[in-house]
């Protein structure tokens, strides 16, 4: 879990759980209450925890919502994370959801990678 979190945070964060299952997040060796993390930090910690639980349970699907909350550097880290999971064969499906801003998304043309746009109740592949 922390190896994945390191990849999503450039090695800046780690997480463990207290006996009551509350997350203990560390940033640069300082404990940071999860509720004080930014939305982007919460998302990245959540992705690492979700991936660890899915792997432990043998689930073959991962769903990530809110990728639009990440800045470009963290979107690049997320893309690398997803591609590494795909190359390792960990998941049959990884779904990443995001709203679209001013820049229209383009499919990067990667193998086994598909992008879709949902607009006005219609789904179309990009």
pLDDT tens readout for residues 21-38 = 989 999 988 999 888 999
Query: Phi, psi (5° rounding) for residue 23?
Result: -75, 140
Neighbours of 118 (CB within 10 A): 10
Could you give the CA distance from residue 102 to residue 74 in angstroms, rounded to a whole number?
A: 18
> In terms of residue numbers, what domain contains 58?
2-125
pLDDT at site 57: 95
Average pLDDT (94-118) is: 82
Give me the CATH number covering residue 19.
Answer: 3.40.50.300
Collapsed DSSP state (helix, strand, coil) of residue 18:
coil
Domain count for the chain: 1
Does the pTM of the predicted model rise above 0.85?
A: no
Q: Which residue has the tokens 């910690």?
A: 45
């Amino acid at each position: 879990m922390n190896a994945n979190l390191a990849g999503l945070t450039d090695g800046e964060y780690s997480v463990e759980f207290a006996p009551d299952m509350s997350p203990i997040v560390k940033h640069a060796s300082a404990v940071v209450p999860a509720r004080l993390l930014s939305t982007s930090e919460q998302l990245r910690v959540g992705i690492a925890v979700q991936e660890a639980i899915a792997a432990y349970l043998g689930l073959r699907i991962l769903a990530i919502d809110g990728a639009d909350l990440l800045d470009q550097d963290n979107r690049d880290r997320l893309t690398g994370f997803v591609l590494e999971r795909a190359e390792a064969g960990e998941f049959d499906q990884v779904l990443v959801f995001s709203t679209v801003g001013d820049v229209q998304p383009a499919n990067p043309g990667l193998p086994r990678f598909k992008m879709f746009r949902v607009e006005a109740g219609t789904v179309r592949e990009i």
